[in-house]
Structure 1
Amino acid sequence: MHQTGPGASADVSAGGVGRRAVGAAESVRAGRSWWDANADDYQAEHGDFLGDTRFVWGPEGLDEQDARLLGEVAGKRVLEVGAGAAQSSRSLLERGAFPVALDLSFRQLQHSRRIDGAHGTAVPTVQADAAALPFRDGSFDLAFSAYGALPFSPDGAGIMREVHRVLKPGGRWVFSLTHPIRWAFPDDPGENGLTATHSYFDTTPYVEEDAAGDVTYVEHHRTLGMRVREVAGAGFRLVDLVEPEWPEHLVQVWGGWSPTRGRRIPGTAIFVCDRD
């Protein structure tokens, strides 16, 4: 996740960061340009943790190889929404799945091609907005998103509907994102990050602007209840909500993620949803 979003409370001013309303087109445009510009740094900073063929659901390091939230994947067509460099899809490829990795950022998908070249793999990639999936109805058996697309989209409900549309009946949709409660706390890895300073119920987007006042980054907050209603409204059945605990062996700190916070307040929420 981006390091400075949740917990920001000040109104944004030109060249600054804070909370304000932002249009849908502006939000999508900022998301594409930010990830294109920062993909290299992101992969360099997080590449060791993510691995090239590893599937983790969040900063706590919960591995799909152990959690099996998607169920059996061998022989299944699987869509990864907000794939980045498609590390998770590559992991599923090793388990006999047929993944397709989708991302809004062309530069992130170029990193997927780079990793494929190093490993002799070939994960199909598609550049598209997750709220307008370019696939036929019932194209996939499974779909997932690990910290991808949803926090950066103004249309979470639209993403849910699109995923429901492209899944076959009986398909599963699993997605992880920053636990909504984190938005009430400063994005600080120390003790200061354990005191709520902002209303959990305020869903005004977090925005970063350049000196000219143009939006360069946007992140969207929804409460747990709002996410559940998005899931149900799209026709899914929520079968589990996983809140991974911070493991004792993990001492890594980046941005607002740390053992200090992770062992006391949840950092990740994973929604496991079935399409009837």
Structure 2
Amino acid sequence: MPSTSSRANRGWWDGNADDYQVEHGEFLRDSGFVWGPEGLDEAEAHLLGEVRGRRVLEIGCGAAQCARWLVTRGAQVAAFDLSYRQLRHSQRIDLDTGSHVPVMQADAEALPFAADAFDLACSAYGALPFVADPQAVFREVRRVLRPGGRFVFSVSHPVRWAFPDDPGPRGLTSDRSYFDRTPYVERDERGTPTYVEHHHTLGDWVTLLVAAGLTVTGLVEPEWPEGHERVWGGWSPLRGRHLPGTAIFSCANI
């Protein structure tokens, strides 16, 4: 049975996918692998290593921009998202560009794939900030990765939790505890959750990954690049010069 978080976030993303793609589609590109609002591009970062001929799973793919880029680099890709409406945008892009990315609707806490099916798994802000049990996701990722396979994922940097989600000066002053793990929840007039985001400290993420049997091999905190003036929600040049906005974990199934 889907968790409260899954039900809420599936509805939220189905309702907001159109606006999201209008607002961010140009930055993400129809075929492009951007790790976060700082604009770190996999084409330059090479965090996944060589992908040609590799079997790659994208977790929480949205409109599958990252998966589409991986296909152009010779990878064999499967991608999924919780939101049906986001996947419809993937189909739209395929029709517009003549590309084809195999996508499906699924929940990251119960992956519909066989064991040892993939060489690589990746996720750029997909699924993990929104699931109630990230360790369940990590166990599933380890199950579907072959021995020696790698998993790289990005999430909002945990330190941001202690600051208002404001791109201006207000967002530079902490107003809550970094150690408060209470989820952020939006509710409708009946009190039913309509959006849920979960917080984990850096230590929490490492502990959850290790407990799931994965080995952490690297952590990247992208700096805000000079000349990048785009504001994305609470991410901005002002805040980016002072606070890390994204954390990218690299892991191995050893």
TM-score class, shorter-chain normalisation, is over 0.9
Q: Distance in 2 between matches of 1:275 and 1:66?
A: 24
- Which amino acid is 1:222 matched to? H
- Where does structure 2 lack aligned partners over 5 or more consecutive residues? none
- Which amino acid is 2:97 matched to? H
Given the alignment, which residue of 186, 190, 195 partners 2:173?
Answer: 195
Q: Distance in 2 between matches of 1:165 and 1:254?
A: 34
SS in 2 for 1:270: strand
Q: Determine if the alignment matches structure 1 residue 41 to structure 2 residue 57.
A: no
8 Å contact from structure 2 (residues 37, 232) kept in 1 = no
SS in 2 for 1:241: strand
Corresponding position of 1:56:
34
Deviating more after overlay: 83-92 vs 253-262: 253-262
Corresponding position of 2:164:
186
Q: Distance in 1 between matches of 2:203 and 2:9?
A: 25
Report the CA distance between 1:254 and its aligned residue.
2.7
Q: Distance in 1 between matches of 2:7 and 2:40?
A: 31
Corresponding position of 2:110:
132
Q: Distance in 2 between matches of 1:210 and 1:48?
A: 31
Corresponding position of 2:150:
172
Report the CA distance between 1:126 and its aligned residue.
1.4
- Where does structure 1 lack aligned partners over 5 or more consecutive residues? 1-23
Note the alpha carbon deviations across 1:197-234, whole angstroms, 9 max, x for none.
10000111000011121111000000100000111111
Note the alpha carbon deviations across 1:54-101, whole angstroms, 9 max, x for none.
100000000000011011100011000000000000001000001111
RMSD: 1.1
Corresponding position of 1:257:
235
Deviating more after overlay: 83-92 vs 254-263: 254-263
Q: How does 1:1-276 map to 2 (within 5 A)?
A: 25-276=3-254
Corresponding position of 1:12:
none
8 Å contact from structure 2 (residues 34, 66) kept in 1 = yes
State the identity %. Answer: 64
- Which amino acid is 1:43 matched to? Q
Deviating more after overlay: 178-187 vs 211-220: 211-220
Higher RCO, 1 vs 2 (CA within 8 Å, ≥6 residues apart): 1
Q: Distance in 2 between matches of 1:175 and 1:243?
A: 12
What TM-score comes out, normalization by structure 2 length? 0.98
Report the CA distance between 1:191 and its aligned residue.
1.2
- Which amino acid is 2:22 matched to? A
- Which amino acid is 2:119 matched to? D
Q: Distance in 2 between matches of 1:61 and 1:36?
A: 25
Note the alpha carbon deviations across 1:152-193, whole angstroms, 9 max, x for none.
000100000000000001100000000000000001111111
Q: Distance in 2 between matches of 1:267 and 1:83?
A: 20
- Which amino acid is 2:121 matched to? A
> Post-superposition, which runs of at least 4 consecutive aligned residues in structure 1 deviate over 4 A?
none
- Which amino acid is 2:211 matched to? G
